[in-house]
Every structure is written in C-alpha cells, then in structure tokens.
Amino acid sequence: MSGAAKAPILFSPIQVGDMLLQHRVVMGPLTRSRSPKELVNDMNVLYYSQRATKGGLIITEGTSPSVTAAGYPDVPGILTAGQANAWKKAVDAVHARGGYMFAQLWHTGRVSTRRFQPNNELPVSASTTKSSRRAEPARALTVPEIKYVVNEFRTSAKNARDAGFDGVELHGAHGYLIDQFLEDSSNLRTDEYGGSIENRARFLLEVMEAVLQELPPSKVAVRLSPYANFAVTDSDPVALFTYVLNRLNRYKLAYIQMTEPDFVSL
C-alpha cells in the first residue's frame, strides 16, 4: 500500500455514541456459560482482556438483568451490587488495554426452564405459550410483574454504569423476552401490551425509558432481528419494525444492531 493510499474502511475510525472507535471490528455477544452463581470470575476477566484492543468495542455475553431472566447455565448477572462489582474487574481490564465495553442486558423469557427460575416456577413470557426451543410452557407476566421487570432493567442499567461500562445493549432479538412481546406469534395478549403494533412495542419502549433514566442515549443500544426466525414470527414484520425503528430513532441511541435476515429456527 502506498503512503497516499487510504486504510480500508474496516480499519478506519468511527464515532459510535460517546465512543471514538479506532476500527470497526466489534466483538459481539457470545454466551460462554463460565460464571457460576451468576458472578464474573478471574477466567472471565482474562477472557475479555485478551480480546480487548485499543479503541475497539466489546459487547459482553448476554447478562441477566432480572431474577427471571436466565435460561442457560452459568450466565452472569448484573442485577445486584455484588454482580456489578464482579463485572467491574472485567471492565477495568478492558479499559486498561484502551478498549470500550457494553453490557448486553438479556432476558430469555420463555426460552428458559424451571431450573433457572426462582422457587422452581415456570418461566415468564408475554403470553402463556411454549417455545419450540424448550419443553416447558411459560406463563404470562401480569401487568404488575411487567412493571417489576422494567424496573429490574433500570437497576441493571444503573449497576452497569456503576461498574464502569461504556454503555448497555438491550437484547431485543432472537425470540427472547423483548422479542416475545414484539411479535404476534408469541404475544397473544388483549391488554395494553398486546394486539396492536403500538401495544406490542410498549414493553420494549418502557424498558428503554427506564434504562434512559440511568444512562444517556449515547450510552444505550438495542439489538433487533426483524426477519430472523428464532421460534417467533410476525404476520407483518415490515410494519412492526418500521414502527419500532421510527420510535427508537427518536432517542438518538448509540446504535441499533440489526442481525442478518437469514437465520432459521434452532
């Protein structure tokens, strides 16, 4: 490459929210199941520090923002102060290498089983339905329970801030809880959280508003999968996600991550 030649776009800087990334190679969220008792440990700290680059962004593995969120073994949490303090060691290690780090807040909803739930209860979802990815059905969240989960997201966003994260990403994709509310194959509700597109988007937007009480929009992101078939579908995804994106764009978030539209159901 001659001295006058420009570096490939992939390796050029870009502003993302408050971050000036030095390149565009981002480490996406990868579930590791290496955090017994929902606590990040020295192995997790080493894992993330080894992958940090100067001016690069790491999005954590899915992290539980609720007591009902987990659906896989040994997933870390961020709902409690103890969980946040454990994460701080990993965040500090990434920052020491000049990198940035977002925490992905991940509620699996019906993609869970009793073994992961408080008091061996059924997993929760938008409606009383069953995921093809799990043998057990879920129960529908009541409206007061929805408000409680929304507040758990807020607490988790505060904890992420206190742990030093550069921001949070809401996992609203791939058939997990937020997606279960959005799409009409899994949301059969007839109250203010179901039926119309506006109602089905209400949970996502309430979670977003709660998180934005703890973090500025420049430190908040969301992941969506309009066409990915992860055991949930919508009868009119274009109309649904056009509405959702128009609403989200009002916030001027750090970014909106759209996963590729060629997944098949697991």
Active site residues: 176
Total count of residues recorded for the chain: 266
CA–chain centroid gap for 110, Å, is 15
Q: Of all helices (H) and strands (E), which one includes residue 168?
A: strand 167-171
Q: Is residue 139 helix, strand or coil?
A: strand
Integer Cα distance of 120 and 235 in angstroms:
34
- List the structure tokens of 23: 């390149």
Q: Which tokens go with 167?
A: 């921001």
CA-based torsion, 188, 190, 194, 195: positive or negative: positive
Q: Which residues lie closer than 8 Å to 148 by C-beta, 6 or more apart?
A: none
Rounded Cα–Cα distance for residues 149 and 49 (Å): 31
